[in-house]
Amino acid sequence: MSEKQLPLWYEKGLSFKCTGCGGCCSKEPGYVWLSETDIEIARAHLKLSRSDYLKKYTRQVNGRISLIELPNYDCIFLKENRCSIYGARPKQCRQFPFWKSNISSPEAWEEAALTCEGINHKDAPLLSPKEIHDWQES
Ligand code: SF4
């Protein structure tokens, strides 16, 4: 017998519009985990060899590769509060703020809103669960 699917808590959608404030790329310590695809896209964008890209912009953390974070917690690609490789940014960045952890509960979403001013912004469109899913897959 198949289990009945529970309705999503955000069935009516979630409001989000990026204001470009840069908050998700700075202010707090964190990791931006890179896949091989992320590395290849950014490396090609910057016209660097894989090894030069890894040396200049990334760090090893417990066997995984993350972008370097500056001492003030800014992402190494944050320039004048903007992502300097926006079109070639990693998947983890593209998926924000719709990370599974952020949409796991209303409380988690409100917590994410404390650092992302685009969440529940007054001018933000209401994104449907399908749009949120497509965003996560982008
Ligand atoms: S914190 Fe939110 S509103 Fe600010 S740049 Fe990041 S995604 Fe956009």
Q: Tell me the per-residue pLDDT of 37-91, one tens digit each, with 9 for 90 and over.
A: 999 999 999 999 999 999 999 999 999 999 999 999 999 999 998 999 999 999 9
C-beta separation of 102 from 108 below 8 A: yes
Residue 27 CB less than 6 A away from ligand 1: no
How far does residue 67's CA lie from ligand 1's centre (Å)? 18
For ligand 1, say whether the CB of 48 is within 6 Å of any of its atoms.
Answer: no
Nearest CA to ligand 1 atom 2: 116
Separation of CA 119 and ligand 1 centre (Å): 8
Question: Is the predicted pLDDT of residue 101 greater than 80, yes or no?
Answer: yes
pTM: 0.89
Strand partners, 15: 126
Task: Give the distance (Å) from ligand 1 centre to CA of residue 4.
Answer: 35
Q: Answer yes or no: is pLDDT of 109 > 80.
A: yes
- What mean pLDDT, rounded, does the chain reach? 94
Which pLDDT score, from 0 to 100, does residue 112 have? 95
pLDDT of 7 over the 50 cut: yes
Q: In the chain, what are the domain boundaries?
A: 14-137
The number of residues making up the chain comes to 138
